[in-house]
């Protein structure tokens, strides 16, 4: 039985065809993966069938019945979406989040005991370890993800769409998620799974649909297709070098951290350095302290002991602005929450750090701004139909390029990239690697944090490994992934 079918589904925005006559067929009870570059049309397809967008042309059917949803609420009986950004009310308990919009009442009063009873009965079906009496904000990242999934399941949809669900999860939490997805399949639910992690796609799915430039390239059964073949279908060219390494000249140490010990955070005698023209990778499991270390130094946490030097001069920062003024910039892991103002335009995001240099006598020079923004968009190949397009409407890869490009006019010496390729497609990742390489080629140092060991080994000139808020090892080429991984796991 066909669970979901689309016929010539199309969506046009001003100047952009986001989806072009896509014909898709998903069988009931299968895990059907959708892959493609950022901007390939995956999100647009999901938003149409879940009631966020109305298609420009075409139609879609659920279990043979033609549908036209006018809102996500209208679609929720049939389509449940587990978004990359969790839709939870932080101060509500788990069960309150489950019943949000479905509250049981009598005489104007909430039937709390009845809601808790139904919640307990419901959660027993899935054998998940989530304390639904706690506020969502008190739950771990993995438990919040599970609560988000339970919230979708609670509405009993026929089709569940997972959109980049493992992006915020640890390896262990991801394994729990995969077990749940396989269990949902056994229960007869139809799963649509979207991810840039092709290893997950190949491990989980029954069928794979590849989208490119808004069009369907192919639907293939996941029997003996390889990751390489998927990449070739996604980007329309054989990718000889998925991890481009820009040749640079590595010179003297320009940034050095000695015995860094802010006890309040829990670091233990942190020592490392970065040279001019060098990409220095930081490896470690989730919770090892990699991001916390970068944020601590960038935001200027008070030192209990130790020192930091930039170009052999004492580096003291009291806040992120002081760090930026001193030549240290950071592209954060949470690009939407910390790196960008997503409800503002591409133009506004790009010029914000440079307003003083783009103004004269308190007035902005529109021609100067126009040329500057155009240069950044072209340099980073940011796909926009206009600089006035809101950042939130861009694909993940293009958002990431805006978050990097906005710092280009700064005289930065050290660039911190925290998980810069998380949640973006293969081709966009390649562009980010090239951007980092070119920054290093111009003489800056790059501090590169990543959970993807493959890309760390391919792009880094040296790698530090962190475990439990301590640097436990330093590796130089040739890199041996097994040795790095063992140090990440805490082995001596």
CB distance 261 to 302 below 8 Å: no
Domain locations along the chain: 2-235, 253-488
CB distance 490 to 288 below 8 Å: no
**213 three-class SS:** coil
* CA distance to 14, 323, 369, 417, per residue, from 386 (Å): 10, 32, 14, 27
How far is the C-alpha of 401 from the C-alpha of 416, rounded, in Å?
A: 14
Q: Which of 32, 68, 302 is nearest to 162 (CA)?
A: 32
Establish whether domains 2-235 and 253-488 are of one fold.
yes
- CB neighbours of 26 closer than 8 A, spacing ≥ 6? 2, 3, 4, 5, 32, 159, 190, 192, 207
Q: Which residues pair with 253 in a beta bridge?
A: 275
For 403-415, give the DSSP string.
HHHTTTTS--SEE
CB distance 126 to 180 below 8 Å: yes
- CB neighbours of 164 closer than 8 A, spacing ≥ 6? 84, 194, 195, 196, 423
Q: Which pLDDT score, from 0 to 100, does residue 238 have?
A: 47
Q: Which residues pair with 445 in a beta bridge?
A: 414
Q: Which residues pair with 272 in a beta bridge?
A: 257
**Strand pairing report for 414-418 and 328-331:** parallel
**Is the pTM above the cut of 0.85?**
no
CB distance 6 to 49 below 8 Å: yes
59 vs 267: which has the higher pLDDT: 59
pLDDT band at residue 239 under the 50/70/90 scheme = very low
- What is the arithmetic mean of pLDDT over 19-31? 94
**Other C-beta atoms lying within 10 Å of the C-beta of residue 228:** 12
Q: Which of 291, 302, 263 is nearest to 418 (CA)?
A: 291
**211 three-class SS:** strand
Domain range 253-488, CATH class: alpha beta
Domain range 2-235, CATH class: alpha beta
**Strand pairing report for 65-67 and 57-62:** antiparallel
Query: pLDDT at residue 91 above 50?
Result: yes
Q: Which pLDDT score, from 0 to 100, does residue 15 have?
A: 64
Between 150-164, 231-245, 349-363, the lowest mean confidence (pLDDT) is in 231-245
pLDDT tens across 73-83, in order?
899 889 999 87
- CB neighbours of 111 closer than 8 A, spacing ≥ 6? 104, 105
CB distance 98 to 154 below 8 Å: yes
The token duo for 102 is: 């479905």
How far is the C-alpha of 19 from the C-alpha of 35, rounded, in Å?
A: 14
Q: Which of 482, 483, 487 is nearest to 471 (CA)?
A: 487
- For residue 338, what is the DSSP state? I
Q: Which pLDDT score, from 0 to 100, does residue 364 have?
A: 67
pLDDT tens across 383-419, in order?
888 899 999 888 877 888 888 888 876 678 999 999 9
Q: What are phi and psi of 113, to 5 degrees?
A: -65, -40
Cα 416 to its chain centre, rounded Å, is: 16
CB distance 419 to 283 below 8 Å: no
Query: pLDDT at residue 194 above 80?
Result: yes
């Amino acid at each position: 039985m066909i669970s979901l079918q689309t016929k010539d589904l199309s969506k046009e925005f001003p100047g952009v065809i986001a989806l072009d006559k896509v014909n898709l067929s998903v069988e009931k009870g299968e895990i059907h993966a959708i892959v493609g570059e950022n901007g390939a049309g995956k999100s647009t397809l999901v938003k149409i069938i879940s009631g966020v967008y109305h298609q420009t042309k075409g139609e879609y059917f659920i279990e043979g019945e033609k549908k036209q949803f006018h809102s996500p609420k209208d679609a929720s009986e049939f389509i449940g979406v587990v978004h990359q950004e969790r839709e939870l009310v932080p101060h509500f308990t788990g069960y309150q989040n489950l019943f949000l919009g479905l509250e049981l009442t009598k005489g104007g009063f909430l039937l709390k005991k009845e809601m808790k009873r139904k919640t307990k009965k419901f959660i027993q079906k899935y054998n998940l370890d989530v304390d639904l009496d706690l506020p969502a904000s008190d739950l771990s990242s993995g438990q919040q993800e599970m609560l988000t999934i339970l919230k979708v399941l609670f509405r009993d949809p026929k089709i569940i769409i997972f959109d980049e669900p493992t992006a915020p999860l640890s390896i262990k939490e991801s394994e729990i998620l995969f077990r749940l997805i396989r269990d949902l399949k056994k229960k007869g639910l139809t799963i649509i799974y979207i991810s840039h992690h092709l290893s997950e796609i190949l491990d989980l799915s029954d069928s794979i649909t590849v989208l490119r430039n808004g069009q369907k390239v192919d639907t293939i059964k996941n029997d003996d297709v390889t990751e390489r073949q998927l990449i070739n279908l996604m980007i329309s060219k054989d990718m000889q070098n998925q991890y481009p390494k820009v040749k640079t000249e590595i010179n003297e140490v320009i940034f050095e951290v000695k015995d860094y010990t802010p006890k309040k955070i829990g670091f233990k005698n942190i020592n490392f350095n970065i040279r001019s023209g060098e990409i220095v990778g930081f490896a470690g499991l989730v919770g090892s302290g990699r991001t916390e270390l970068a944020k601590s130094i960038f935001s200027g946490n008070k030192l209990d002991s130790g020192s930091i030097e930039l170009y052999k001069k004492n580096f003291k920062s009291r806040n992120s602005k002081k760090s930026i003024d001193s030549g240290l910039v950071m592209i954060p892991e949470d690009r939407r929450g910390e790196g960008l103002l997503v409800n503002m335009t591409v133009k506004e995001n790009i010029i914000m750090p440079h307003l003083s240099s783009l103004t004269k006598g308190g007035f902005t020079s529109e021609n100067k701004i126009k040329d500057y923004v155009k240069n950044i968009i072209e340099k980073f190949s940011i796909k926009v139909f206009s600089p006035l397009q809101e950042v939130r409407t861009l694909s993940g890869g293009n958002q990431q390029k805006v978050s990097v490009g906005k710092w280009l006019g700064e005289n930065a010496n050290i660039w911190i990239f925290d998980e810069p390729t998380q949640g973006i497609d293969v081709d966009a990742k390649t562009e980010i690697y090239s951007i980092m390489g070119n920054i290093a080629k111009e003489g800056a140092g790059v501090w590169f944090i990543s959970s993807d060991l493959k890309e760390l080994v391919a792009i880094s000139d040296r790698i530090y490994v962190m475990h439990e808020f301590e640097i436990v090892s330093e590796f130089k080429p040739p890199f041996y992934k097994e040795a790095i991984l063992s140090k990440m796991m805490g082995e001596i």
